Amino acid sequence: MPVQTAPPKIEVPRANREGSVTVPQADRAAKVAVRDLNFFYGKVQALHNISIEIPERIVMAFIGPSGCGKSTFLRTLNRMNDVIPATRVAGQVLIDERDIYAPGTDVVELRRRVGMVFQKSNPFPKSIFENVAYGLRINRVTKSNSELAGRVEEALKDAALWNEVKDRLKMSALSLSGGQQQRLCIARALAIRPEVLLMDEPASALDPIATSKIEELIFDLKKQYTIVIVTHNMQQAARVSDTTAFFLLGKLIEVNSTEKMFTAPHEKLTEDYITGRFG
Amino acid sequence: MDLHRHLDDELGSLRDRVLLLGGEAEMALDRAMYALSERDSEVARHVLDHDDEVDHLEVEIDRQCIDIIALRQPAARDLRFVISVAKMAPVLERIADHACNIARAAIDLNNEPELKSVLDLSRMAEHALKMLRAALDAFTSGDAIVAREIIKSDSAINDLYNHTFHRLIELMVTEPATATRDARLLFVAKHLERIGDYVTDICELTVYMAEAAFIKHTN
């Protein structure tokens, strides 16, 4: 198992799902660049020398067995692990070439730029409107109620939820279905216009129809955002992502175009995992 | 693990079926050429009667590939194997169809006086059969190196075809009385030449299966 010391080369997908040629990723700036990242829960090392580059406006999927470190790694990208006691990070996570672990980093501002959607939808016990408006209000982003309403509508539209809730914005968010609640959480994350969106198994608790809506949404959102998604569902990774990274035992084993990853992976460990012959 | 073993069992069953189809195609060709060279129309009719079973086997393989893709969602080497088999089955069925066409020609020619040119065709058929057997072996062992070698050997069949073609044309000119029979033999030669091309297709699929490399339409 090779130790990653330099960002793995990502093979360029030859065409996107619509058949048009994608911009070669080598020509795209890396939105996120991780260099020799190690992460510890107390004395236990959870991530080992991770180096990877995530180009702008693509969907990258993280796959791997439970406990392989993919969610831990995802949370290092907006310092969500900071809230866990006795954790330690070594290495660099650069977003737009700035190390987010550098002293003096404004973590609140970082999380505004790098939004997150969790496995279980977690709407606030407030109205649909207030859920989306919440981040805008606490960050004092908008100057007037009409501007606030406009941003809420825009976020709900971006999350493909507007048509379903536009007539009941004052109703409790908890009255929505599971899939709608998850899209509401995505709208809440989008309202403050992040640059990177981290998704930790965003559809794992949803039925196939709701999952399909989330996946379509991810596909649309990549036009504007850099999206990183952790998923246990390999078909989902194959459907929604442009590139896929495979983690095992806290190590990054392979990063490749999703097309290559699922038809002819480079590493035997990857092949064994995705063909279900792991172990 | 049981689910994965189940997939392995299904892939194994698919491999067995495609090899069975390959064996049927090989036997059909062998018998059709025997019917032609030994002037045995009974054997030729047997080849024709057996073709429905070959067609049925191809359809079964199609269904099995679709089932595995839909229900097991294979990836990587498993996916390449299933795709290769799905594309290989119609190729093998077409080889059997060419064998049937040779068998029909044999039935017609066996009602006429014998022609010596049949001997040249036997050499072509021998080479085509050797290629087909080797291609099926290479597929079974996933041997891309051997598959590439077999592809190169297709030129020998093409050379034999060109030689036979010119010889039969000459005969048509010099002995017009045999022209109709020579024309039939010309078609047989063309069928054998096409079989060589189909064996090449099988080898290209083996290379894809083993190496994920697309070598079709490359030099």
Residue B209 with chain A: CB contacts under 8 Å: none
Instruction: Summarize the confidence of residues B176-194 as an average pLDDT.
Output: 94
Q: Scanning every residue of chain A, which has its alpha carbon at the shortest distance from the alpha carbon of B210?
A: A264
Instruction: Confirm whether B134 is domain-assigned.
Output: yes
- Residue of chain A with shortest Cα separation from B80: A263
Angle of helix B118-141 relative to helix B2-37, nearest 10 degrees, comes to: 170
**Distance from C-alpha of B2 to C-alpha of B207, rounded to nearest angstrom:** 30
Identify any residues that bridge with A33 across adjacent strands, giving them in sequence order: A53, A94
Q: How many structural domains does chain B have?
A: 1
How far is B155 from chain A, CA to nearest CA, in Å? 31
- Per-residue pLDDT for B25 more than 90? yes
Contacts of B16 (CB under 8 A, 6+ apart): none
The structural domain count of chain A equals: 1
Distance CA B200, CA B153 (A): 9
Rounded Cα–Cα distance for residues B204 and B218 (Å):
10
Task: Using the predicted structure, report yes or no on whether residue B196 has a pLDDT greater than 70.
Answer: yes
Supply the pLDDT for residue B174.
92
Cβ–Cβ below 8 Å for A235 and B73: yes
Out of A238, A270, A275, the one facing B78 most closely (by C-beta) is A275
Instruction: Please tell me which residue of chain A has the smallest CA distance to B74.
Output: A275
Residue of A nearest to B3 (CA): A276
Give the confidence band of B54 by pLDDT, cuts at 50, 70, 90: very high
Confidence of residue B1 (pLDDT cuts 50, 70, 90): very low
Round to the nearest angstrom and report the end-to-end CA distance of chain B. 42
A138 is a domain residue: no
Range of the domain at B197: 2-211
Of B4, B73, B212, the CB nearest to A263: B212
Domain membership flag for residue A132: no
pLDDT above 90: residue B218? no
Are B76 and A234 within 8 A, CB to CB? Answer: no
pLDDT band at A279 (very low <50, low <70, confident <90, very high): low
Cβ of residue B80 closer than 8 Å to a chain A Cβ: yes
For residue A38, the model assigns a pLDDT of 97
| Domain assignment of residue A5, yes or no | no
**A279 inside domain:** no
Contact A275/B76, CB-based, under 8 Å? yes
Please tell me what DSSP assigns to residue A172: B
Q: What's the mean pLDDT in B106-115?
A: 91
B216: left (phi over 0), alpha (psi -120 to 50) or beta: beta
Is residue B87 over pLDDT 90?
yes
Specify the pLDDT at position B2: 61
Judge whether B73 is closer than 8 Å to chain A, CB to CB.
yes
Tens digit of pLDDT for each residue in A71-114?
999 999 999 999 899 999 999 999 999 999 999 999 999 999 99
How close does chain B come to A188, measured CA to CA in Å?
Answer: 35
Q: Is residue A267 less than 8 Å (CB to CB) from chain B?
A: no
Asked if B76 lies within 8 A of A271 by C-beta distance, the reply is yes
Residue A32 lies in a domain: yes
Per-residue pLDDT at A28: 67
Nearest to B4 among A238, A265, A277 (CB): A277
Is the residue at A12 inside a domain?
A: no
Best probe of the A interface among B4, B10, B69, B214, by most A CBs < 10 A, is: B4
Cα distance between residue B45 and residue B103, in whole Å = 7
- For chain B, what is the mean pLDDT? 93
Q: Is residue B216 part of a domain?
A: no
CA-based torsion, A238, A239, A243, A248: positive or negative: negative
- Asked whether residue B114 is domain-assigned, the answer is yes
Contact A276 B212 (CB under 8 A): no
Taking contacts as CB-CB distances below 8 angstroms, the residues of chain A near B4 are 275-277
CA distance B96 to B113: 27
pLDDT at A209 over 60: yes
| CB of B70 less than 8 A from some CB of A | no
CATH code, domain carrying B23: 1.20.58.220
Answer whether residue B139 is part of any domain. Answer: yes
Residue A186 has pLDDT above 90, yes or no: yes
Residue with tokens 């608790």: A205
Q: What ipTM does the predicted assembly reach?
A: 0.77
Mark yes or no for CB contact B76/A264 under 8 Å: yes
Cβ atoms within 10 Å, residue B71: 11
What's the CA gap between B208 and A174, in Å, rounded?
Answer: 52
User: A33 is in which domain, residue-wise?
Assistant: 25-122+195-274
B212:A235 CB<8 A: no
Query: Quick check: B69 contacting A, CB < 8 Å?
Result: no
pLDDT in tens, A118-169: 988 889 999 999 999 999 998 888 889 999 999 999 999 989 899 999 999 9
Backbone angles phi, psi at B39, to 5 degrees: 55, 45
* pLDDT 10s digits, A39-69: 999 999 999 999 999 999 999 999 999 999 9
Q: Which of A129, A136, A109, A128 is nearest to A190 (CA)?
A: A136
Q: Does residue B96 belong to any structural domain of this protein?
A: yes
Nearest to A274 by CA among A243, A239, A246: A246
Q: Give the DSSP H or E segment for B194.
A: helix B179-211
pLDDT of residue A27: 57
Q: What is residue B58's predicted lDDT score, i.e. its pLDDT?
A: 97
* Residues of chain A found within 8 Å of residue B76, distances taken between Cβ atoms: 262-265, 270-271, 274-275
Q: Which of A235, A274, A278 to probe the B interface (max B CBs under 10 A)?
A: A274
Helix axes of A178-191 and A145-158: crossing angle, nearest 10 degrees: 130
The amino acid sitting at A60 is M
- Residue B6's pLDDT is 84
Nearest CA in chain B to A260: B76
Tell me, yes or no, whether B217 lies in a domain: no
Confidence of residue A5 (pLDDT cuts 50, 70, 90): very low
CATH code, domain with A233: 3.40.50.300
Chain A within 8 Å of B78 (Cβ-Cβ)?
yes
Would an 8 Å CB–CB cutoff place A275 in contact with chain B? yes
Beta carbons of B77 and A235 less than 8 Å apart? no
Mean pLDDT over A215-228 rounds to: 92
Q: Which residue has the higher pLDDT, B167 or B4?
A: B167
Within a domain: B130? yes
Residue range B118-135: average pLDDT?
90
Written as six digits, the tokens of A243 are 């590139």
Q: Is B27 part of any domain? A: yes
Give this prediction's pTM: 0.82
CB contact under 8 A, B78 and A262: no
The pLDDT > 70 percentage for chain B reads: 96
Residues of A in contact with B3 (CB under 8 A): 276
In the block, residue with structure tokens 């498993």? B78
> In chain B, what residues touch A238 (CB-CB under 8 Å)?
75
Q: Do A32 and A196 meet the contact criterion of CB atoms below 8 Å apart?
A: yes
Kindly state the average pLDDT of the residues B61-72: 95
What's the mean per-residue pLDDT of chain A?
88
A235 touches chain B (CB under 8 A): yes
The predicted structure's pLDDT at residue A205: 82
